[in-house]
Amino acid sequence: MAKLIDGKQISAQIKDELKEEVAQMKERGTQVCLAVILVGQDPASCVYVRNKKKACEYIGIRSISCELPEETTQEELLEKIREFNEDDSVDGILVQLPLPDHIQEDAVIEAISPQKDVDGFHPWSVGALCIGKPGFVSCTPAGIIQLLKRSGVDIEGKECVVVGRSNIVGKPMSLLLLRENGTVTICHSRTKNLKEICRRADILVCAIGKPKFFTKDYVKEGAVVIDVGIHRNAENKLCGDVDFAQVEPVASMITPVPGGVGPMTIAMLMSNCVESARRKEEKRSNS
Ligand code: NDP
């Protein structure tokens, strides 16, 4: 039977550590602040934004909420971002995705100052990760590294297979595992012999967006399995990309869905925000 990697417990631990740090920063006169921009009223986005604000409240981060109507133009949105870029009291800027069709996502992501890019989506942030410079890392993969480390999984020298090569999960995940000295293989929809490659993995990260795709045939005995997928089935129950019932007896450790990778994303967003404020403090003390 695999040990469950408890994302709820680990994310709660991270939030408590951040809460303590934010309180200490307050004593030094620093108030950490996140600006959240939501365009339109997409129901899922509204829930995500509400959860992010709740996490800020718990940790003691000030959150500025900027809710813009659906018909906001790209130029108006970029102007709002410029305002937050220039506001020294704002440490992080988050634009909730997806945006309405008439707004170009890339232009918006690129308008956010890399110093405040707490989602880690700006090309500078991605480039910094690629060449090993400091920068913000996309929250979901950063959360997975925390799950592994805090569960005592040693990444160095391990065969790591990441299935999925999206900009927000698969690619940064692969770079982070490489940074931790794993031996990394990236798979995608054109990969041949996917099962065989997955069966080589000591650490298997499944991020393709297909419910219960990864059966026991994809998993080596004793592997650590990370399930990034989130799907809601006909009975309104959540499941991941991994067929949990089949894989759990084969793996040594596995993340459940829900309660695995999911809760880590917001915790890492908060962590990036605190990191941004920490860098600001350092800059001030050096000048
Ligand atoms: P994308 O749809 O952007 O990317 C999916 C990737 O999987 C692509 O690289 C695609 O390959 C690859 N892929 C698709 N089908 C197959 C297949 N049959 N075999 C091999 N590779 C395949 O998804 P995301 O990366 O954004 O998200 C992946 C999953 O993770 C989704 O279920 C999403 O909901 C979830 N998610 C969960 C988060 C959390 O907080 N827990 C956060 C973000 C995402 P190709 O490039 O060739 O098309």
Ligand 1 centre from 189 Cα, in Å?
10
pLDDT (tens place) for every residue of the chain, 287 residues total: 899 999 999 999 999 999 999 999 999 999 999 999 999 999 999 999 999 999 999 999 999 999 999 999 999 999 999 999 999 999 999 999 999 999 999 999 999 999 999 999 999 999 999 999 999 999 999 999 999 999 999 999 999 999 999 999 999 999 999 999 999 999 999 999 999 999 999 999 999 999 999 999 999 999 999 999 999 988 899 999 999 999 999 999 999 999 999 999 999 999 999 999 999 999 999 98
Of 137, 161, 169, the one to substitute when testing ligand 1's pocket (max ligand atoms within 8 A of C-beta) is 169
Q: How far apart are CA 82 and CA 76, in angstroms?
A: 10
CA distances (Å), origin 98, targets 83, 104, 116, 207, 273: 21, 10, 19, 19, 21
HEC string of 166-186?
Answer: CCCCHHHHHHHHHHCCCEEEE
Centre of ligand 1 from the C-alpha of residue 166, in Å: 6
81 Cβ closer than 6 Å to some ligand 1 atom: no
Lateral strand order in the sheet of 33-39: 62-68, 33-39, 92-95
Q: Which residue, 161, 241, 157, 235, is CA-closest to 200?
A: 161
Catalytic residue among 6, 119, 227, 241: 119
Residue 105, SS3 per DSSP? helix
Is 170 a known ligand-binding residue? no
Could you report the predicted ipTM of this complex, rounded to two decimals? Answer: 0.98
User: Catalytic site residue 52?
Assistant: yes
Catalytic-role residue among 15, 96, 146, 243: 96
d(CA 155, CA 144): 12
The three-class DSSP label of residue 37 is: strand
Q: For residue 48, give the nearest of 263, 247, 249 by alpha carbon.
A: 263
Nearest CA, atom 17, ligand 1: 189
240 CB less than 6 Å from ligand 1?
A: no
Whether 30-113 shares its CATH topology with 139-262 is answered yes
Whether ligand 1 lies within 6 angstroms of the CB of 192 is answered as no
- Tokens 């065969």 belong to 159
Instruction: Please state which CATH number belongs to domain 139-262.
Output: 3.40.50.720
30-113 belongs to which homologous superfamily? Leucine Dehydrogenase, chain A, domain 1 (3.40.50.10860)
pTM above 0.95, yes or no: yes
